[in-house]
């Protein structure tokens, strides 16, 4: 599973003697392991793409610096040839209560109050295993279409999953979205907030994991949270006490879900085609 040299590199980064490394659940893209040491257990992720784990490290540290919501502490990051690892604080977790969903909603809203003067991020990253460009833009309409929707639409076409005739031009999309995308400020986002990317610790604290951070519209995270479910009613009630909906929220949520559905189409194939087609047909 691991060579002696790899174990030594991990041990040196952690400053801990490693007793054992065993497979663990918790990684969709990377391989995940539980490291047993003389002190605390450690969560280990490995992947051949060093940039992917580096992006996750940056994302966790960026969210942690806001002091709004917890993330697992980054304990080590390193590589040896094509072997790359990210070592994180191990979080014992449990199923969330209604009150803990309330706390999660409040803390996510506080995270979204972390602002920037532009849309994007200092570095590109990944959504799943797909590259995600974060080139700064002054305008949300430009960013969402040029850095999010259009690249995924073109990738779907290249993969033979979407006909070019079904893909609206950038100008058509910008014109269609203009009314809905007014007065939007850049908020720090988790970027991939489905139910597998938060934890509730056994002490009742919410944690965010596996982020794809950038500064964008706060409703992006809400849209992803609603796409596959797994968030309690109290989460949304508390969140919208702090960041209220407006008359176009439901429309934007569907438009933002289009991005994630395109990502799933490109990652997992045609089972997501009908959902993508429905939104494209509805708005274009």
Question: What are the tens digits of pLDDT across the range 78-105?
Answer: 998 889 999 999 999 999 999 999 999 9
Could you name the CATH architecture of 4-89? Answer: 2-Layer Sandwich (3.30)
pLDDT at res. 25: 83
Residue the block writes with tokens 């990652």 = 267
Q: Where in the chain is the domain with CATH 3.30.200.20?
A: 4-89
Contact predicate 10/17, CB 8 Å: no
Catalytic residue, candidates 92, 171, 192, 246: 192
Across the chain, mean pLDDT equals 96
pLDDT at res. 30: 86
pLDDT at res. 188: 98
Closest CA to 232 of 258, 265, 205, 195: 195
Average pLDDT over residues 275-281: 97
pLDDT tens-digit series, residues 110-130: 999 999 999 999 999 999 999
pLDDT at res. 35: 96
Residue 244 has pLDDT above 70, yes or no: yes
Q: Which residues of 152-165 are buried (b: 16+ CB within 10 A; e: fewer)?
A: bbebbeeeebbeee
Contact predicate 134/214, CB 8 Å: yes
Is 192 an annotated catalytic residue?
yes
Give the percent of the chain with pLDDT over 70: 99
Class of domain 93-283: alpha beta
Residue 1 has pLDDT above 90, yes or no: no
Residue 262 has pLDDT above 80, yes or no: yes
Q: Where in the chain is the domain with CATH 3.90.1200.10?
A: 93-283
CA-to-CA distance for 253 and 135, rounded, in angstroms?
22
Helix (H, G, I), strand (E, B) or coil at 119: strand
pLDDT at res. 129: 94
pLDDT at res. 81: 87
Helix axes 150-158, 249-268, angle to 10 degrees: 30
pLDDT tens-digit series, residues 43-84: 999 999 999 999 999 999 999 999 999 999 999 999 988 899
Q: Categorize the per-residue pLDDT at 27 as very low, low, confident or very high, splitting at 50, 70 and 90.
A: low
pLDDT tens-digit series, residues 131-188: 999 999 999 999 999 999 999 999 999 999 999 999 999 999 999 999 999 999 999 9
pLDDT at res. 114: 98
Please indicate whether residue 25 or residue 207 has the higher confidence score (pLDDT): 207
Tokens of 97: 């209560």
């Amino acid at each position: 599973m691991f060579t002696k040299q790899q174990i030594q590199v991990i041990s040196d980064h952690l400053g801990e003697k490693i007793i054992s490394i065993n497979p663990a659940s918790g990684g969709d893209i990377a391989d995940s392991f539980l490291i047993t040491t003389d002190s605390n257990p450690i969560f280990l992720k490995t992947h051949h793409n060093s940039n992917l784990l580096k992006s996750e490290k940056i994302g966790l540290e960026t969210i942690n610096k806001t002091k709004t919501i917890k993330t697992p502490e980054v304990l080590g990051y390193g590589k040896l040839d094509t072997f790359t690892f990210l070592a994180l604080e191990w979080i014992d977790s449990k199923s969330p209560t209604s009150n803990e969903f309330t706390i999660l909603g409040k803390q996510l809203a506080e995270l979204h109050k972390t602002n920037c003067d532009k849309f994007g991020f200092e570095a590109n990253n990944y959504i799943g295993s797909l590259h995600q460009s974060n080139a700064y833009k002054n305008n949300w309409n430009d960013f969402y279409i040029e850095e999010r929707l259009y690249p995924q639409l073109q990738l779907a076409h290249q993969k033979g999953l979407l006909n070019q005739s079904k893909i609206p031009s950038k100008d058509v999309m910008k014109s269609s979205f203009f009314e809905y995308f007014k007065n939007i400020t850049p908020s720090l986002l988790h970027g991939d907030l489905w139910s597998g990317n938060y934890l509730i610790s056994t002490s009742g604290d919410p944690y965010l994991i596996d982020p794809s951070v950038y500064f964008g519209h706060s409703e992006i995270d809400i849209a992803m949270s609603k796409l596959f479910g797994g968030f309690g009613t109290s989460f949304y009630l508390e969140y919208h006490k702090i960041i209220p909906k407006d008359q176009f929220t439901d429309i934007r949520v569907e438009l933002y879900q289009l991005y994630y559905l395109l990502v799933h189409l490109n990652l997992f194939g045609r089972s997501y085609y009908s959902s993508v087609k429905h939104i494209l047909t509805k708005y274009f």
